[in-house]
Amino acid sequence: MERIGTVLPRDFYARDAAEVAPCLLGKLLCRRTEQGLCAGMIVETEAYQGPLDDAAHSYGGHPTERTRVMYGPAGHAYVFSIYGMHSCLNAVTADIGQPQAVLIRALEPMEGLALMEARRGTADPRLLCSGPGRLCQALGITRAQNGLDLTGEELFIAEYRDYPKAGICVSPRVNIDYATVYRDRLWRFFLKENPCVSAVPRRYAPRGILE
Q: What is the pLDDT of residue 37?
A: 96
User: How many structural domains are present in the chain?
Assistant: 1
- 109-134: pLDDT as tens digits: 999 999 999 999 999 989 999 999 99
Q: What is the pLDDT of residue 1?
A: 62
Give the confidence band of 67 by pLDDT, cuts at 50, 70, 90: very high
Cα–Cα distance for residue pair 44/15, rounded to 1 Å: 18
Q: What is the CATH number of the domain that holds 104?
A: 3.10.300.10
pLDDT at 7 over 90: yes
173 contacts 40 by C-beta, under 8 angstroms: no
With respect to residue 15, please indicate whether it lies within any of the assigned structural domains: yes
With respect to residue 186, please indicate whether it lies within any of the assigned structural domains: no
- 81-103: pLDDT as tens digits: 987 678 999 999 999 999 999 99
With respect to residue 176, please indicate whether it lies within any of the assigned structural domains: no
With respect to residue 82, please indicate whether it lies within any of the assigned structural domains: yes
With respect to residue 109, please indicate whether it lies within any of the assigned structural domains: yes
Please name the residues in contact with 127: beta carbons below 8 A apart, sequence gap of 6 or more.
120, 134
With respect to residue 210, please indicate whether it lies within any of the assigned structural domains: no
**E strand map for the chain:** 28-33, 36-48, 77-82, 86-93, 100-111, 155-158, 168-171, 188-191, 208-209
With respect to residue 182, please indicate whether it lies within any of the assigned structural domains: no
Residue 60 belongs to what domain range?
10-163
With respect to residue 171, please indicate whether it lies within any of the assigned structural domains: no
Q: What is the pLDDT of residue 85?
A: 77
